[in-house]
Amino acid sequence: MAAGFQAVMDKLKIIGQRALHGTVQASGAKNAALPLMAAALLTAEPVLLHNTPQLMDVRTLSKLLRSLGAQVEQQGDALRIDAAAVDHYEASYDLVKTMRASVLVLGPLLARFGQARVSLPGGCAIGARPVDQHIKGLQALGADIVVEHGYIVARVATPSGRLRGAHITTDMVTVTGTENLMMAAALAEGETLIDNAAREPEVVDLACLLRRMGAQIRGEGTSQIRITGVPRLRGATHRIIPDRIEVGTFLCAALATRGDVTVQGADPAHQDALLDKLREAGAQITTGDDWIRLRADALPAGRPRAVSVRTTEYPGFATDMQAQFMAVNCIADGAARITETIFENRFMHVQELVRLGAQIDIDGHTCVVRGVPQLSGANVMATDLRASAGLVVAALAAEGQTLIDRIYHLDRGYDAMEVKLRALGADIERIKTSPGA
Ligand code: UD1
């Protein structure tokens, strides 16, 4: 906890209006790394993950896996997980409340060991975010589940002691829900069909690792995933896909500062919805196999054009890019509507952007952003992970100094963000405040 507590105190100081220029390397995807790490629980043989991002959520899940009895070793961007000696089956409230993706251990523990006890995540800054679909799906696979004392207590109730395949249709598209069910079904008896499955690239990446481990999966990347369970899975080596949200954040920062940035190690095929919107805003985009270049140093009006977006499941515009894209709209020419359809309370950054001089009206799930020629630096507070990234984009474009407090939210999901931005020419500095100061 010491490192976490230290990070709680850190702030980011940004002096804005420096155009970003140059090349930056994308890290591996946080939202792929977490399910892939959880999948290592499905086998007694080691799983080796390359391109692992170095960030707090990965450290939190490593800690959780160790508390279950797994060995987790990180060397650079390689993470080796050996779950041979796992003999605990509980994810405590202390861990789950800091990172709700901890619920991803539920499916694998249940499938391999026949039992799991995982804390309910509780509320979070961006809304209620229940896990009822994870529970319902696992029940359909034969698990006996009760919720008591704030914990999901699950046991396999079938005569063979293994989960059994089932046809599951989730009530809504859920990313970690789909992943939990895929992992559980991989070791179940018989065939599982997941309908209304999430199509995110991170789900596809998980299917890719599971297949390397010996799982039989078809249909990943579509809304119908078919899994034929096998009695056991083996170890595997896998390279994590690029973090499309980190990539998108750099592209928004480049556009907001009217810069010229190339992001290396990206997968343009995962960014279609965002790239379309960035082009609409006036950016020149070029792509190669593993890079994306955004040029905004010669915008016709000297400013991006206002562009409306509506967040939806993949392949639509990602909710995790909403705050950063709103920041671009804050300094755009014209007015845009930003509609959030995935989470109920994901406009916490709006009042902070207003402190920077943005003109934004909220009406339920929609914001109307009227672009202003210039934002002005101020002291602001990060409220959740992607909201923090939105504030960074806005601060980079603003005139004068912005101090962003509570950047532990940012550290949860971005690998060395200020170091990467500084290399692109940003005036950005982490202010470390010692605990108790
Ligand atoms: C994942 C991502 C997160 C992203 C989100 C939406 C990870 C680790 N996190 O979160 O960054 O913002 O997808 O793209 O991959 N819901 C229920 N019941 C459930 C499950 C979900 O009601 O059992 C609702 C949620 O409250 C939300 C919607 O479904 O309104 C989508 O949530 P979901 O896709 O599950 O988000 P996460 O997997 O938690």
* Model pLDDT for residues 412-429, shown as the tens digit of each residue: 999 999 999 999 999 999
The whole-angstrom separation of Cα 128 and Cα 254 is 33
403 CA from centroid of ligand 1 (Å): 30
- Residue 8 is predicted with a pLDDT of 57
Closest residue by CA, ligand 1 atom 13: 175
Q: What is the pLDDT of residues 320-344, one digit of tens each?
A: 999 999 999 999 999 999 999 999 8
Q: Is residue 57 within 8 Å of residue 100, measured between CB atoms? A: no
Q: Is residue 118 within 8 Å of residue 91, measured between CB atoms? A: yes
The whole-angstrom separation of Cα 258 and Cα 406 is 27
315 CA from centroid of ligand 1 (Å): 15
User: If you average pLDDT over residues 16-37, what whole number do you get?
Assistant: 98
Is 104 near ligand 1, meaning CB less than 6 Å away? no
Is 102 near ligand 1, meaning CB less than 6 Å away? no
348 CA from centroid of ligand 1 (Å): 17
Ligand 1 pocket, mutate which of 175, 322, 340 (most atoms under 8 A from CB): 175
Distances (CA, A) of 190 to 75, 135, 141, 186, 194: 38, 20, 10, 9, 13
DSSP 304: P
- Residue 3 is predicted with a pLDDT of 42
Distances (CA, A) of 36 to 53, 95, 376, 388, 432: 12, 18, 41, 25, 32
Ordered DSSP codes for 308-334: -EEB-STTSB-GGGHHHHHHHHHTSBS
- Residue 437 is predicted with a pLDDT of 46
pLDDT band at 139 (very low <50, low <70, confident <90, very high): very high
- Predicted TM-score of the model (pTM): 0.96
pLDDT band at 301 (very low <50, low <70, confident <90, very high): confident
- In SS3 terms, 30-61 reads as HHHHHHHHHHHHHCCCCEEEECCCCCHHHHHH
Question: In Å, how far from its chain's centre is CA 166?
Answer: 28
Closest residue by CA, ligand 1 atom 17: 130
pLDDT band at 433 (very low <50, low <70, confident <90, very high): confident
* Interhelix angle 175-186/106-113, nearest 10 degrees: 10
User: If you average pLDDT over residues 141-158, what whole number do you get?
Assistant: 94
Is 134 near ligand 1, meaning CB less than 6 Å away? yes
Residue 426 tokens, joined: 């940003």
Residues serving a catalytic function are 124
Is 152 near ligand 1, meaning CB less than 6 Å away? no
User: If you average pLDDT over residues 132-160, what whole number do you get?
Assistant: 95
Lowest mean pLDDT segment, chosen from 7-11, 48-52, 197-201, 292-296 = 7-11
pLDDT exceeds cutoff 80 at 180: yes
- Residue 434 is predicted with a pLDDT of 67
The whole-angstrom separation of Cα 392 and Cα 349 is 11
Q: Which residue type is seen at 371?
A: G
